Structure 1
């Protein structure tokens, strides 16, 4: 059995002023819905001007909304004095038709963070824990704190450097989990869990357990999607967002997809408020842009592969990402490297306690990643104390990511 953990234990987030809560029971009730933006912002070595420097720390898409989405925003702005619920219905209908779903199995939200939070609240409790991967996206753990649920972290499986969910270990970690959270591709590693493993989870999870499959990054990889489990009526909730490939992180739009009875429990906790019509219009235009996903997927993949190849040539090990982020083993305390890069206005992603010598790097533009290479080289060459000798990782670059056990 894996130990339960306190997601609010000191890890960098608690030091930031906007995560200071009132003492006592009211503290839990006041916990916000946390997003990647909050978590990335909290982990920056210092509060930085978002308009200065290079920010490859929050898994954002620097391309922003597509041209069609931008035009749709411009066109809808004059109608900003209206609620226009019909736009939400139309957007939901387009997505449902494209994916072969019933409209009743899809609910739009302002991003996917809210339905993630509500799903954990709805199906976990002090007697029904949350099971999640380690390292994995932290937001579900914060939601579990609100519901009073314990959190069980299960290390990623890494027999061949794959850094993927250990599904059998996750299923064995608790006899009655309320939610098992699977992020595919995983944040922060960018790695995909094989379809066969996810099928095993669906088939073998306890009867009343909800599998929460977060597909925020699914458009960036070739992994099979999980929406068919919803069509089959399984105890599965799938999350989608427009924040990543579609470049709409600041506009906020996403979906929760699941059986209507599951969605009813989720939506009872929130999500019935009118959504920004600009985000709805941009999302609709994005879905109707037939070439957008393939074009952007290729651009991001090329930049990612070039960056990973360069790091490997320099003797560094990275997770075999298929997403817009990866974990980089810097062979010394990651916070030291993070802080040194921040001093150069190069902001890279946070450190997970399970892998203290690794940094999450977001794939930026080609120019941003070239700038990262330069700054990273300078930082790593500035003080070699405590580093693994450079010839060692070159000899071991085919070996597993051994510190990830």
Structure 2
């Protein structure tokens, strides 16, 4: 085994932890909490508590989970096909090669990153390893719910801080929220608003935060934006953990690949959460190869960034010209729009039009999040949106809807 391997595990320990990956949901409480029960064999629908979740029809426009409708790049698909025939062996060097390419892109020092199957699992580890009853979480509101969910699992006090007037994280208010939190959680660009927190604000928080607190920066959507990454703060040995995923601009949501970037001691702390963090680290060699090919495909990010921006701009301009209120400034592959009624009600109305949109947040109950799909998908969204907005509020909850089956609308909250 290569002695330079960033995930420093022996052959024996690697064989042991490969088997442990399948048990990750039970090993890590927050992951188990996010994983719905499997449907009984032969059941067409999917169970959620006592309800049956029916799959969406094949012609439904699914713009609910911030997925990339373009899927993996051709370079990634070629890598998967080439590597698939070698799937009978572990090929340790595939993981090393991918880590080396990632580290080289950012000039990271050895052992300053860890490769995982997706980013949800390591995000839980980053959060949970720094939270507890005496280590609160401070986070923006609204923002991605995985932060407060992890805090609940760890019985950590939660301190939500409203976003600024420009929908950025209010770092000065976050600093005042608690004298010694375990972690500050910043999603940048923010989910669900798509808005940016300037890097200088994050640097200010890192510089002024209390000793012992960690700033966790979730950069899942950074490739869609003009924002400057905070990975260089890791190279400066700051108390920072940066999360990266291949699920968004790289279109690998179902293939699962992601990085945690931090000082080695902060990554080592992941092991304090229910077992060795490497139990989440045994991603497939095909996913590792696809991630590496995506990183090396230099035209991929700028091209997809432009495609997303053009379609997002066209859609937002359509909504604005027709008098609908959209949260301004999104630089992600999503935006939020005011539907002037409870978001869940509007989501159900759209679903009847075969368009699955995203959920709402308690801080903005009349806004729904919409993922940017293809040009054709967004044209169907526009037609359905206008039709549903023309309905009087409450129409989707009439008596005729009582027997409407509950469809399973995908959500990134239920991804391991």
Say yes or no: TM over 0.5: yes
Matches within 5 A, 1:156-171: 156-158=163-165, 162-171=166-175
- Decide which of 64, 71, 78 is 1:71's aligned counterpart: 78
Cα distance change, pair 93–206 in 1 and its aligned pair in 2 (3 A):
same
Alignment deviations for residues 120-167 of structure 1 (CA, whole Å, 9 cap, x no partner)? 111111001011111110012221122221111111111xxx211111
Name the counterpart of 2:307.
299
Counterpart position of 1:24:
none
CA distance in 1, matches of 2:270, 2:96: 18
Q: Partner residue of 1:6? A: none
CA distance in 1, matches of 2:252, 2:36: 13
Aligned ranges 1:3-402 → 2 under 5 Å: 30-32=29-31, 47-49=54-56, 51-158=58-165, 162-267=166-271, 269=273, 270-272=277-279, 273-319=281-327, 320-383=329-392
So what's the TM-score if we normalise by structure 1? Answer: 0.83
CA contact (8 A) 1:36 1:58 kept: no
Give, in whole Å, the separation in 2 of the partners of 1:336 and 1:346.
Answer: 14
| Structure 2 alignment gaps of length 5 or more | 1-25, 38-46, 396-416
- Return the offset for 1:35: 6.8
Q: Deviation of residue 80 (structure 1)? A: 1.2
Question: How far apart in 2 are the matches of 1:363 and 1:339?
Answer: 19
Against the structure 1 CA distance between its residues 233 and 30, is the aligned structure 2 distance closer, same or farther, given a 3 Å change threshold? closer
Deviations 1:304-357 (A, max 9, x none): 011111111011121220110111111222122111001112100001011010
Distance of aligned partners of 1:375 and 1:308 in 2 relative to their CA distance in 1, 3 Å threshold: same
Secondary structure of the 1:127 match is: coil
Q: Which moved more, 1:81-90 or 1:245-254?
A: 81-90
Q: CA deviation at 1:197?
A: 0.9
SS at match of 2:388: helix
Cα deviation, residue 30, structure 1:
4.5
Q: 2:19 aligns to what?
A: none
Determine the structure 2 residue equivalent to 1:11: none
Please state whether the residue corresponding to 2:189 is helix, strand or coil. Answer: coil
CA contact (8 A) 1:133 1:153 kept: yes
Distance 2:302 2:28 in 1: 42
Contact kept in structure 2, 1:171 and 1:201, CA below 8 Å: yes
The number of aligned residues is: 354
Unaligned runs of 5+ in 1: 1-26, 387-405
Is the CA contact 1:183–1:214 (under 8 Å) kept in the aligned structure 2? Answer: yes
Are the equivalent residues in 1 in contact too, given 2:341–2:393 (CA < 8 A)? no
Task: Provide the rounded CA distance (Å) in 2 between the counterparts of 1:45 and 1:370.
Answer: 31
Question: Scaled by the length of structure 2, what TM-score is found?
Answer: 0.81
Change (3 A) 1:28 1:232: closer
Local SS of the residue matching 2:346 = helix
Aligned-CA RMSD value:
2.3
Superposition deviation, residue 36 in structure 1: 11
The Cα shift of 1:208 comes to: 0.4
CA contact (8 A) 1:62 1:247 kept: yes
Q: Distance in 1 between matches of 2:359 and 2:369?
A: 6
Contact 1:304 1:363 in 2 (8 A): yes
